[in-house]
Structure 1
Amino acid sequence: MTIAQLQFPSVRHLVDETEWKMRVDLAACYRLAALFGWTDLIFTHLTARIPDTDHFLINPYGVMFDEVTASSLVKVDLQGRKVMESDYDIIPAGFLIHSTVHAARPDAHFVMHLHSINGVAVSAQEQGLLPISQQALFVMNSLGYHDYEGIALKDAERATLARDLADRQFLMLRNHGLLTTGRSAADAFLAMHKFEAACMIQVRAQAGGGALRTIAPEIIAGAPEQIAAGRRGRGPEVVWQPLLRQAARQSPGFDQ
């Protein structure tokens, strides 16, 4: 039996350059998440809100992360209605989480929510993320926690989700997974890379069985200045072009 590969008609001629770039960047995020092993089959979501609109892009239901293309992304409004024709539906739980964040945070142009194994493992720990690694240093000054309320299908969860995220970049959904926001794909992706790495390090350090050494609170507090100095005035975009090249090498076709 031959399994047909998915083919998506191009929508590039139907959108402006700003939206097309966001589509390409978001599709790259999906492909990179697959390459890094962060997927939960088809059951998590990465989204991008189109500037000056109430429309955002989300993955088509039933498509693996390594199949997502710029043209396959479904464009919906904050009520979940499609605003561009698509043969695919979207997942209600993913819509609730992402529409809530995009509505509450106009600055969150990109939102990533994952059920990565390490992230879920740490989200199940009472103490949450521990200050035991340089990777955690990037996260802890802008980290919130959201208690588990079941599968995200109830409108009542919108208020608590928005409250717990507030103006932070990182949110640990207890017993559930990780969420990051960003003004760009680079911003949200680099944040998730640090978040997931910090969780992986924590799980492995705990598995070693020895006492864990924590980073001093004053070092944690000074992390934003240290990070800015280390980047020499360059933001997360410094790593985005190399990541796009990696996606093009290892998972070509996302920009179609």
Structure 2
Amino acid sequence: MATAVSPAARCTAAEWEARQQLAACYRVFDLLGWSEMIYNHITVKVPDEEGAFLINPFGLHFSEVTASSLVKIDIDGNTLDDSPYPVNRAGFVQHALFHRHLPDAHCIMHTHTTAGMAVSSLEGGLQPVNFYACNFAGQIAYHDFEGVTVRDEEGARLLENLGSKRAMLLRNHGILVMGRTLPEAFIRHWSLQRACEIQLATLSMGTPLTVPAEVIATHQRDLHQAQAPGGPGAADFAAMVRLVDRRDRSWRD
């Protein structure tokens, strides 16, 4: 009788670590209420494999994603493992574009949260009216809605509109962020989501107070002094993984 090979043994140690980190992130997003049925995507590049990245299986809820169920594909959409799951083209097209052209886009996150979609649908977009929004002043890109992102030809406009920024509000659509590491992308998404949530609450009550440009500049200059050790988002993400683990550790398999 053949001995069963564990999922971890089917890939390199570096890939398995990336798989576990990404699976944990899907569970964290679900815990925070950022799931959207079986839609939306978080992707990471596979370490030491040019042009390969991991994406969620199309059909699983974020709460069901595990390290072994993630699908490894290349930037042309070819499946590189024996996954039985399909990949959502709406996720592949957009994420493959950025993974192909942006060397620092190790992790990419796209969500349809209520707050993110609402602010992306608002004239003027994100406004400097709260602490978290000030983090992003002058650092948010915008891309007009062109329909579901399944057409390759939209890519040139996405790249042009993103420019050197690494956070974007897809108008009438939602949040898109990326980072050099998954924790960096996570804390960027978390902060942008909070900025949108607080803006919605503020605008519902009346005329907001706009933070002056000189205060925003000081705020952005000093933000690094409030960062925990380990790199952007590292301590924050680790804390959320511990919280997920206290509820369900199945993502590790």
TM-score bracket, normalised by the shorter chain, equals: over 0.9
Taking the aligned partners of 2:247 and 2:59, their CA distance within structure 1 comes to 22
3-state SS in 1 of match to 2:152: coil
Q: Which letter does structure 2 place at the counterpart of 1:99?
A: A
Q: In the alignment, what sits opposite 2:121? A: 124
Cα deviations across residues 94-127 of structure 1 (Å, max 9, x unaligned)? 1011001111211111110000011000110010
Matches within 5 A, 1:219-238: 219-231=215-227, 234-235=230-231, 236-238=233-235
Preserved CA contact (<8 Å) 2:58 2:86: yes
1:10 deviation in Å?
4.7
Structure 1 unaligned regions, length at least 5 = 1-8
**Equivalent residue for 1:108, pick from 101, 105, 109:** 105
Q: In the alignment, what sits opposite 1:161? A: 158
Q: Which runs of 4+ in 1 moved over 6 A?
A: none
Q: Which letter does structure 1 place at the counterpart of 2:45?
A: R
Taking the aligned partners of 1:82 and 1:44, their CA distance within structure 2 comes to 19
TM-score with structure 2 setting the length: 0.93
1:222 deviation in Å?
3.3
Matches within 5 A, 1:66-85: 66-85=63-82
Matches within 5 A, 1:11-50: 11-50=7-46
Preserved CA contact (<8 Å) 1:59 1:72: yes
Does residue 246 of the first structure (1) align with residue 249 of the second (2)? no
1:50 deviation in Å?
1.4
Taking the aligned partners of 1:13 and 1:222, their CA distance within structure 2 comes to 49
Q: In the alignment, what sits opposite 1:58? A: 55
Segment of structure 1 superposing worse, 57-66 or 163-172: 163-172
**Equivalent residue for 1:204, pick from 197, 201, 206:** 201
Taking the aligned partners of 2:110 and 2:228, their CA distance within structure 1 comes to 29
Cα deviations across residues 181-236 of structure 1 (Å, max 9, x unaligned)? 1111111111111011110111111111x211011112223333211122266522
Cα deviations across residues 47-74 of structure 1 (Å, max 9, x unaligned)? 0011341000000010000000011000
Structure 2 unaligned regions, length at least 5 = none
- Sort the Cα spacing of 1:223 and 1:100 in 2 relative to 1 into closer, same or farther, 3 A: farther
Taking the aligned partners of 1:60 and 1:228, their CA distance within structure 2 comes to 36
**Equivalent residue for 2:90, pick from 89, 93, 111:** 93
**RMSD of Structure 2 on Structure 1 (CA):** 1.4
Percent identity between matched residues is 37
Q: In the alignment, what sits opposite 1:218? A: 214
Taking the aligned partners of 2:225 and 2:81, their CA distance within structure 1 comes to 43
**Equivalent residue for 1:174, pick from 161, 171, 174:** 171
Segment of structure 1 superposing worse, 195-204 or 224-233: 224-233
Taking the aligned partners of 2:22 and 2:175, their CA distance within structure 1 comes to 17
Taking the aligned partners of 1:99 and 1:43, their CA distance within structure 2 comes to 16
Preserved CA contact (<8 Å) 1:141 1:221: no
Aligned pair count reads: 247
3-state SS in 2 of match to 1:142: coil
Cα deviations across residues 124-168 of structure 1 (Å, max 9, x unaligned)? 001000101111122224210111011111111111111122221
Preserved CA contact (<8 Å) 2:228 2:235: no
TM-score with structure 1 setting the length: 0.92
